[in-house]
Amino acid sequence: MTLTGPATVSMGEPSETGRFGDFGGRYVPESLVPACAEVESAFRSAWSDPQFVARYRGLLADYAGRPTPVTECHRLSAELGVRVLLKREDLTHTGSHKINNVIGQGLLTVAMGKKRVIAETGAGQHGVATATAAALLGLDCVIYMGEVDTHRQELNVFRMRLLGAEVVPVRSGSRTLKDAVNEAMRAWVSEVETTHYCIGSVMGPHPFPWMVRELQRVIGDEAREQCRALLGGADPDLVVACVGGGSNAAGTFAGFVGTSARLVGVEAAGGAAVGRGAPGVLHGMRSLLLQDEAGQILEAESISAGLDYPGIGPEHAYLAGTGRAVYADAGDEEVLEALSLLARTEGIIPALEPAHALAWLVRAARDGTVPGGSTVLLTMSGRGDKDAGQVMELIGDRLDARLAAKS
């Protein structure tokens, strides 16, 4: 894999029809066309309204705890031979970057005069974040979650309910994230007058991929300046983030697309839409999708509920096509190893999703894909608390053995 790409691609507005190159668009039933148009015009005016932006920035600062720091990982860097900097989205309120998006869309819901939000969730992080923003802003909230994920992420289900949201287990299809999106879209069609669909990643029909990237670009904009302060005005050589739908990666890349940094998105090996997908239409967008010969969507498979998505945001499909960003993947086993490594060397337990980005970096540093001495900014999109139970089941024995060998 080569990591070079032209620096001429920008991450600006999509075309009038919501396209990034050939990808994106608005493939929704006629019933949802007016609602998408309403969200687009509301976001356009809000995003250029200094008062709205000030409210959004104010809540990110005083409520969500921004700016998040960039942490230099001295011990991990020594181990890998590359200089690793982490953008600490795990330190935000609710523990992941998802809060940046939901505060923006929550305020937009209020601005549109709606009193209710619905959302899909995989790992539960977006569900928890949406329920949090709904509680903060006094909105009713219903979260659609695949039944399989409600079991994998029991604690997050309880959190959402504690926050006043209703959690609807989705029993159709593969009972994971893609089915939760289907069910949320079905619900939105019948509730569209009163309800905003708070999509959790840079996916869905226009304007969502663009809007969510704009609401997440705070990650990259902060990180770029923080890196420059740390690196004497220089930019990192490499910027790495995990990709489910791709919101933390898009927000991160937006801050660095104009620099010389090489951009790398890391998908779960069992959900690698760039690596193994083909162009298609799902959930309102044309993008790269895991699908069979006939066009039936395949189920992604990963230990990480947050990356269990058979597609990728359309702007990532575009960036991949231009070569400005490259997309790799990481398998379950190396992810668990990387998670333990960061915990032991830096005292940071990552969520399984960003552990994918880390796993790729560990491999790429060791096999020379990333040259020794490179500087790498990696977005630590969330903290590992939500996954602790699952990780204990997966590697608890191994940990016991390691400790026994030491004593």
Partner 1 sequence: MSAAAGAVGRGVPLEAALRARRDAGAKLLVTYMTAGLTEDWVDYLQVMVEAGADAVEVGLPFSDPVMDGPTIQEASVRALARGVTPEAALSALAVREQPVPLVAMTYYNLVLRAGLERFAARAAAAGVTGAIIPDIPLEESGPWEDAAADAGVATVLLAAPVTSDERLAVLCRRSRGFVYGVNLMGVTGERSSLAGSAGVLAKRLKAVTDLPVVMGFGISTPQQAVEAAAAADGVVVASALMRAVLDGASVVELGAAVADIRRALDRG
Question: Per the structure block, which two tokens stand in for 118?
Answer: 């619905």
Q: Which of residues 1-20 bind partner 1 (CB under 8 A)?
A: 17
- Residue 226 binds which of ligand PLP, partner 1, none (CB < 5-8 A, kind-dependent): none
- Phi/psi at 71 (5° precision): -105, 130
One residue of 87, 97, 159, 178 binding partner 1 per CB under 8 A: 178
Known active-site residue 73: yes
Q: Which of residues 187-206 bind partner 1 (CB under 8 A)?
A: 189-190, 192-193
Of 36, 74, 93, 97, the active-site residue reads 97
Nearer to ligand PLP, 87 or 224 (CB): 87
Known active-site residue 227: no
Residue 20 belongs to what H/E stretch?
A: strand 19-20
- In whole angstroms, the minimum distance from the beta carbon of 189 to partner 1 comes to 6
Residue among 191, 205, 302 nearest 244 (CA): 302
Residue among 146, 153, 121 nearest 134 (CA): 121
Nearer to partner 1, 24 or 382 (CB): 24
Task: Give the number of other Cβ atoms within 10 Å of residue 401's Cβ.
Answer: 11
Contacts of 212 (CB under 8 A, 6+ apart): 101, 105, 199, 200, 201, 202, 203, 247, 250
Q: Does 186 bind partner 1 (CB under 8 A)?
A: yes
Nearer to partner 1, 27 or 63 (CB): 27
Please name the amino acid found at residue 377: L
Which residues would be at the binding site for ligand PLP (CB under 6 A)?
96, 122-123, 125-126, 201, 242-249, 306-307, 351, 353-354, 381-382
Nearer to ligand PLP, 204 or 245 (CB): 245
Of 36, 73, 141, 242, the active-site residue reads 73
Q: Which of residues 285-324 bind partner 1 (CB under 8 A)?
A: 289, 291, 293-297
Q: How many residues does the chain have?
A: 407
Buried b (16+ CB within 10 A) or exposed e, 262-295: bbbbbbbbbbbbbebbeebebbbbbbbbbbeeee
- Residue 182 binds which of partner 1, ligand PLP, none (CB < 5-8 A, kind-dependent): partner 1
| Active-site residue set | 73, 97
